[in-house]
A and B are shown apart, each in its own frame.
Chain A
């Protein structure tokens, strides 16, 4: 517990000093805010925009941030310093995941300020984003564990993250893409966010399947490669 809090604390300080990470965590809420102000009064604006950007935020930011933090710690040797100080590898992964989820939820909750949400919808909205953030964090951990350095991690996380987060948006304009989008957890998160926070059975099943899939891959990679190798 003490160790987790220290890692969480250091990660907040470190990320506040790291412009690229800050950008990733804040970019979608900021862009959404600007767009909504710019398009105020037009019919297209509002909820739809918010749920679109919230989907992109909760699917892109955690995956890229998690993989970036882990691979950078490997590359710089700070991960080794932590492990040599007696931090267990699992404790480290849990702490970094906590940070990533917490940070993306913190910035993500600003979406609620952009429109009037009633309490129930706000709760459902945050819960859906949380679900997306957890799934994406697992994906980011997998990429981070599998990469030797930040270049390799970003080379993987950015395209994967962009694809996952952009397809639900493009699905609004194209039926073919909409079908693909329904197969992605991000597409399903987008559906929940757009549908007043209501979850259908098949949506729950798809998201659950991704959670299980990423967890299995994570355990496999962790067992096979450990944490420091990549």
Chain B
């Protein structure tokens, strides 16, 4: 299967400031791909390039179309939730949805289904100007997925959302993927990246510092060979991977003193902190 997104040595600069300096990537069909990186790394810039909104150097293609030449026919297959995209604030939630449904030639019944999935049921008649930030974000998502796009761009889709709404959005993303949508998202939420993404890339200082499945990346950076036991007294014990530890662990198990056992590979946040030397949060 051909890659949905294909980047070869993509560069981008604003004036003298080089933001991307040679990005090469392939994103496959039905993949959820996460772009991680510290604030200002160029994640949004990359999405803007991919959606044909910014000039760039190198080769960037989606569905085999050069991004600089994306026309409205290609846009029909894309959905995007970006900061720069707005909603009609003087119109109601439903009127906004109706507009995009008509443009995409989607039947009206599809609207209520999507509205339920993003948790906006009951707010259809409210003017969007009166929506909270999170509600607007969800409505944007609803408008972007109404036509079941082949490729979906999400710039920090769950930032500022409460955990239960974020979970609803995650399940919507999974459902879309099952139905054949490829998803490219950026996030600062390492937990989201680990659980949702098939592969992630870490963008740092204009290049991709690491790319792969979250699990593989975590395993790759696991330098110590150890495991952690939390005892029934809530005591945390790190044990090296050695024959002596087996005795100690067996003793705790036999004594019924074990609450949990953990592997000790670093989580994504720790790996990326190590790679960037910076915190990932804004």
Complex contact A76–B89 (CB within 8 A): yes
Q: Which of A2, A7, A9, A86 has the most CB of B within 10 A?
A: A86
User: Is B142 located at the chain interface by the 8 A CB criterion?
Assistant: no
B71 partner residues in chain A, CB cutoff 8 A: 88
Q: What's the least CB distance linking B72 to chain A, in Å?
A: 4
User: Is A179 located at the chain interface by the 8 A CB criterion?
Assistant: no
Complex contact B102–A6 (CB within 8 A): yes
User: Is A155 located at the chain interface by the 8 A CB criterion?
Assistant: no
Closest chain B residue to A88 by CB distance? B72
User: Is B78 located at the chain interface by the 8 A CB criterion?
Assistant: yes
Please report the C-alpha to C-alpha distance between residue A88 and residue B71 in the assembled complex, in whole angstroms.
8
- With A77-B86, A85-B75 known to touch, is A14 a contact of B91 (CB < 8 Å)? yes
Interface residues on A, range: 20 to 34
Complex contact B99–A6 (CB within 8 A): yes
Residue B84 contacts which of A3, A14, A77, A86 (CB distance < 8 angstroms)?
A77
Q: Which residues of B (207-255) have their CB < 8 Å from a CB of A?
A: none
Please report the C-alpha to C-alpha distance between residue A87 and residue B104 in the assembled complex, in whole angstroms.
9
User: Is B108 located at the chain interface by the 8 A CB criterion?
Assistant: no
Closest chain A residue to B77 by CB distance? A86
Residue A17 contacts which of B82, B83, B90 (CB distance < 8 angstroms)?
B90
- With A10-B95, A13-B95, A84-B75 known to touch, is A18 a contact of B86 (CB < 8 Å)? no
- With A84-B78, A87-B72 known to touch, is A2 a contact of B88 (CB < 8 Å)? no
B75 partner residues in chain A, CB cutoff 8 A: 83-86
Q: Could you mark each residue 81-109 of chain B with 1 if its beta carbon is under 8 Å from any beta carbon of chain A, else 0?
A: 01111111111000100011011110000
User: Is A110 located at the chain interface by the 8 A CB criterion?
Assistant: no
- What is the total number of residues of chain B having a CB less than 8 Å from a CB of chain A? 28
A91 partner residues in chain B, CB cutoff 8 A: 72
Complex contact A82–B90 (CB within 8 A): no
User: Is B35 located at the chain interface by the 8 A CB criterion?
Assistant: no
B185 partner residues in chain A, CB cutoff 8 A: none
Closest chain A residue to B89 by CB distance? A76
Please report the C-alpha to C-alpha distance between residue A70 and residue B221 in the assembled complex, in whole angstroms.
51
User: Is A80 located at the chain interface by the 8 A CB criterion?
Assistant: yes
Complex contact A80–B90 (CB within 8 A): no
Q: What's the least CB distance linking A98 to chain B, in Å?
A: 16
User: Is B76 located at the chain interface by the 8 A CB criterion?
Assistant: yes
Please report the C-alpha to C-alpha distance between residue A6 and residue B87 in the assembled complex, in whole angstroms.
15
User: Is A5 located at the chain interface by the 8 A CB criterion?
Assistant: yes
Complex contact A76–B86 (CB within 8 A): yes
Q: What's the least CB distance linking A223 to chain B, in Å?
A: 16
User: Is B10 located at the chain interface by the 8 A CB criterion?
Assistant: no
User: Is A78 located at the chain interface by the 8 A CB criterion?
Assistant: yes
Complex contact A17–B91 (CB within 8 A): yes
Residue B90 contacts which of A2, A14, A81, A84 (CB distance < 8 angstroms)?
A14
Please report the C-alpha to C-alpha distance between residue A5 and residue B102 in the assembled complex, in whole angstroms.
9
Please report the C-alpha to C-alpha distance between residue A136 and residue B88 in the assembled complex, in whole angstroms.
25
Closest chain B residue to A81 by CB distance? B85
Complex contact A83–B95 (CB within 8 A): no
Residue A78 contacts which of B72, B83, B87, B104 (CB distance < 8 angstroms)?
B87
- With A13-B95, A88-B72 known to touch, is A81 a contact of B87 (CB < 8 Å)? yes
User: Is B4 located at the chain interface by the 8 A CB criterion?
Assistant: no
Closest chain B residue to A10 by CB distance? B99
User: Is B12 located at the chain interface by the 8 A CB criterion?
Assistant: no
Complex contact B72–A86 (CB within 8 A): yes
Q: Which residues of B (60-85) have their CB < 8 Å from a CB of A?
A: 71-73, 75-76, 78, 80, 82-85
Q: What's the least CB distance linking A149 to chain B, in Å?
A: 13
Complex contact A77–B85 (CB within 8 A): yes
Complex contact A13–B72 (CB within 8 A): no
User: Is B11 located at the chain interface by the 8 A CB criterion?
Assistant: no
Please report the C-alpha to C-alpha distance between residue A91 and residue B76 in the assembled complex, in whole angstroms.
14
Q: What's the least CB distance linking B125 to chain A, in Å?
A: 13
B83 partner residues in chain A, CB cutoff 8 A: 77
Q: Which residues of A (1-48) have their CB < 8 Å from a CB of B?
A: 2-3, 5-7, 9-10, 13-14, 17-18
Q: Could you mark each residue 190-207 of chain B with 1 if its beta carbon is under 8 Å from any beta carbon of chain A, else 0?
A: 000000000000000000
A88 partner residues in chain B, CB cutoff 8 A: 71-72
B86 partner residues in chain A, CB cutoff 8 A: 76-78, 80-81
Complex contact A6–B103 (CB within 8 A): yes
B80 partner residues in chain A, CB cutoff 8 A: 84
Top-4 shortest CB links A-B: A77-B86, A6-B102, A86-B76, A86-B75
Sample (17) of A-B pairs whose CB atoms are under 8 Å apart: A2-B102, A6-B99, A6-B102, A7-B99, A13-B95, A17-B91, A76-B86, A78-B87, A80-B85, A81-B100, A82-B103, A84-B78, A85-B75, A85-B100, A85-B103, A86-B73, A91-B72
